[in-house]
Chains A and B, each alone.
Chain A
């Protein structure tokens, strides 16, 4: 079984451009989470989505960041007008529908560098 797939693995953008990060969850998983890890810092929750719904976006910056998980296709994390401070590793994770004790699996991450 394929794990959580993220692409691109590495992305370089100039300041002011847009970055789009894609995440394909594990087969059968309908829940997706996005986390961000700044250099030398810990993993910070950004957003939790089900198919076509945002469940929890308490960790998303108020501006320039958006996420979606359409009925068909991967989840997309979109960063508009990127700035140097957006340079980070972005990790996607997925799980089955919530039940006690289920497991969340992570992808290998997308590394965004803003120059």
Chain B
């Protein structure tokens, strides 16, 4: 699986949009971009994933650049409960493919 690069941390104000960047410059054509988060002492929680089109669900939006070398996870209205480590993961679509976690980005939502 291709590697991703994320800043170590960022913060945002409660109620504002949180934009979490991720670089994946060596991504291959059949590799998806996945986002998970881990709130302290809990299991990783799936957020969203995409291949090349932008995606939106009830939790977040995923914006993937046209060249697919980077993406942004958007939490439209961050709350204190969104404070967590967010992982951007590139995962091949073939058989036997697993998720490989990096260090992620720690998002701190401040009141």
Binding site for B on A (CB under 8 A): 4, 33, 35, 42-45, 48, 55-56, 89, 91, 93, 98-101, 103-109
Contacts and interface: CB of A to CB of B under 8 A. Distances in A.
A44 B98 CA distance: 11
Contact of B102 (A42, A48, A103): A42
Interface residues of B, number: 24
A58 to B, nearest CB: 9
Nearest to A97: B95
B51 A101 contact: yes
B43 A56 contact: no
Interface in B31-64: 32, 36, 38, 41-46, 49, 51
Ranked 9 nearest A-B pairs via Cβ: A100-B93, A106-B43, A43-B101, A106-B44, A108-B43, A98-B95, A109-B43, A55-B96, A91-B43
Given A103-B49, A107-B43, 6 more contacts: A56-B98, A98-B96, A100-B93, A101-B32, A106-B45, A108-B42
A105 to B, nearest CB: 6
Contacts of B100: 45
Contacts of B51: 100-101
A33 B101 CA distance: 13
Contacts of A48: 96, 98
